[in-house]
Structure 1
Amino acid sequence: MSKVVLITGGSSGIGKSVGEFLKDKGFTVYGTSRNPQNYPNSQFPIVALDVTDNNTILNCVEEVISKEGKIDVLINNAGAGITGPIEEIPEVEIKRNFDTNFFGPINVIKAVLPHMRKQNSGLIINVTSIAGYMGLPYRGVYSASKGALELITEAFRMEIKGFNIHMTNIAPGDFATNIAAGRYHAPVLENSPYKEQYGNTLELMNAHVDSGQDPLLMAKAIFKVINVKHPKVHYKVGEFMQKFSIVLKRVLPDKVYEKLLMKHYKL
């Protein structure tokens, strides 16, 4: 029997690329979307799921289990971007981002774990971000939500190891997807003290995504992790300098690293 893979946010971007790649490799793939009817031509089934709605999470998992009898791999890929000066981002938008990027994946994990425990096997891959390793200016909320998912995975994987269930993080850098179009942008306000710096940084961030790498690289990385007997705690996928920035943060004094970031963002 082929392995059954459930990918949240599998209708576009990285999730779609991963799903198509794994399907070609012989996996049984299910993706998710809040509006699956919008993807009639998907190469694999798209099931209704909104990571901010626990009822849809439970219904989705039960649907896959009823059809396949198991879920071997969960890929927590659904996520949302958010940009803006932290002072000017409405609290409701900050909470919404954490609901999608942090609480949502946790609730999907909670829904899948009893089934994986019953089958005494399973792999959970949380797609985080290289941005989650550092507090980036005007991306602070996004950095925080992805960083929180990175950290909780470290604890979670130790708690479930006795059930023969593995968990890992894969942190991508900038990839050419539609995340920039879908993220929440705090408006660049005319009377804002952040107007010039935030406006310039926003242009830089969008340029990075537009010139980002092919999502197929993430698909290949995830395929490799699925075939590893004992996955590592963290994986990073992206351009050399993006991955190297994590190493620099670890070895440089905090203020030196901060100056490097500010120089990069022209602050």
Structure 2
Amino acid sequence: MSKVVLITGGSSGIGKAIGEYLQSKGFVVYGTSRNPSLYKDSKIPLVALDVTQPETITTCINSVLKETSKIDVLINNAGAGITGPIEEIPEEEMKRNFETNFFGPINVIKAILPSMRNHGSGLVINITSIAGYMGLPYRGIYSASKGALELITEAFRMELKAFNIDMVNVAPGDFATNIAAGRYHAPVKDNSPYKEQYGKSLDMMDAHVDEGNDPLEMAKSILKIINTRNPKIHYKVGAFMQKFSIVLKRILPDKVYEKLLMNHYKI
């Protein structure tokens, strides 16, 4: 019987690319969207789910299980970007980002674990970000939420070993998706002391996404992980220099690495 895969945030971008690719390889794939009716041309079935609304998580998982009796792989892909000077980002926007990028994935995992335990196996793939390995200027909240998900996966994995349930992180770099359009941007204020630096950094971040790799690269990496008997804990997918930046952070003195980031963002 084909493996059943549930992908949160499967209506566009990386999630859509992963879903369509896995379906073409014979997997039974379900994606999720806060409003599936907006994506009537979706090549994979979409189930309503908002990771910030626990009742929709339960309804979604129960609906898929009713049709398939199992979910072999959960891909926690739904997420949200956020940019701005930390001093100027409203607290409610910070909390909303953590609700989506951190608490949301945890709640989906918690809801799906009983069925995986009953089935005797399972794989959870958390899509994080290379930005989660470092505190990036004007992306600090995003870095923090994705970094938190990276760390909690390490703890979660050990707690799930006894149940034959595996969990991994996949940290993408910049990919050509619509994430820039959907993320929260703190406004560039005329009277802000960060106006010049933040404005330049925002233009650079948007350009990086526009020039990013094809999301199909992520989809192929996900397939390899699913087919790996004993997967690693952390994976990085993206341009060489973005992945290499994590290596540099490990080996360089903190202030040298900080200087490299500041030079890169021209601040």
AA in 2 matched with 1:103: F
Q: For residue 105 of structure 1, what is the aligned residue in structure 2?
A: 105
Q: For residue 9 of structure 1, what is the aligned residue in structure 2?
A: 9
Quote the offset at 1:39 in angstroms.
1.0
Q: For residue 220 of structure 2, what is the aligned residue in structure 1?
A: 220
Report Cα offsets for 1:83-141 as digits up to 9, x if no partner: 00000000000000000000000000000000000001000000000000000000000
Which runs of structure 2 are paired with 1:121-140 in the superposition (5 Å)?
A: 121-140=121-140
Report Cα offsets for 1:123-168 as digits up to 9, x if no partner: 0000000000000000000000000000000000010011000000
> SS at 1:50's partner residue?
coil
AA in 1 matched with 2:160: I
Which runs of structure 2 are paired with 1:203-214 in the superposition (5 Å)?
A: 203-214=203-214
Q: For residue 85 of structure 2, what is the aligned residue in structure 1?
A: 85
Which runs of structure 2 are paired with 1:16-35 in the superposition (5 Å)?
A: 16-35=16-35
**Runs in 1 of length 4+ with deviation above 6 angstroms?**
none
Which runs of structure 2 are paired with 1:180-259 in the superposition (5 Å)?
A: 180-259=180-259
AA in 2 matched with 1:154: E
Q: For residue 148 of structure 1, what is the aligned residue in structure 2?
A: 148
Q: Please give the TM-score of this superposition, normalised by the length of structure 2.
A: 1.00
AA in 2 matched with 1:162: A
Aligned residues: 267
| C-alpha separation in 2, matches of 1:68 and 1:7 | 15
| C-alpha separation in 2, matches of 1:23 and 1:196 | 46
Quote the offset at 1:41 in angstroms.
1.3
Sequence identity (%) = 76
AA in 2 matched with 1:42: S
> SS at 1:31's partner residue?
strand
| C-alpha separation in 2, matches of 1:111 and 1:161 | 18
| C-alpha separation in 2, matches of 1:43 and 1:27 | 13
Root mean square deviation, CA, Å: 0.3
Report Cα offsets for 1:204-227 as digits up to 9, x if no partner: 000000000000000000000000
Quote the offset at 1:40 in angstroms.
1.1
Quote the offset at 1:44 in angstroms.
1.2
Q: Please give the TM-score of this superposition, normalised by the length of structure 1.
A: 1.00
| C-alpha separation in 2, matches of 1:164 and 1:80 | 30
| C-alpha separation in 2, matches of 1:230 and 1:14 | 24
Q: For residue 71 of structure 1, what is the aligned residue in structure 2?
A: 71
Gaps of 5+ in 2: none
> SS at 1:135's partner residue?
coil
AA in 1 matched with 2:156: F
| C-alpha separation in 2, matches of 1:250 and 1:55 | 41
Q: For residue 119 of structure 2, what is the aligned residue in structure 1?
A: 119
Q: For residue 95 of structure 2, what is the aligned residue in structure 1?
A: 95
